Amino acid sequence: MQRPKDLFQFLSAHGWVYSWQGSGYIAYQSKLQSGLLEYKTTEVYRSDGSEKISTQVRVTPKGLTRLAREAWPH
C-alpha cells in the first residue's frame, strides 16, 4: 500500500504532476490527454454559507496500469 504523499512525490519526480505555489498538485496536460490522470472537482460549502471549488488530481485505472509498469518493470 502506497501512502498518497509518497505516490505524489513519485508522480512529481517522474513528470506526471507538479506543485504550483502551495495550491496542491497540477497534472501535466500530456498525462490528462493520454487518460492517465484526471481531475475531480467538488463544491465545498463553508460554515459561513460561501462556496469553494476543490480540485484534486486522480490517477485513472489506465494510469495505475502504466505506473505499475514504470515502478516495477518486468
pTM over 0.85: no
Task: Classify residue 31 by burial, with Cβ atoms within 10 Å: 0-12, 13-18, 19+.
Answer: buried
| Cell numbers found for residue 18 | 507538479
Say if CB 26 and CB 16 are below 8 A apart: no
Q: Which pLDDT tens digit goes with each residue over 53-65? A: 888 999 999 999 9
Strand (E) or helix (H) holding 37: strand 37-45
| Cell numbers found for residue 52 | 469553494
Q: Which pLDDT tens digit goes with each residue over 28-71? A: 999 999 999 999 999 999 999 999 988 899 999 999 999 988 87
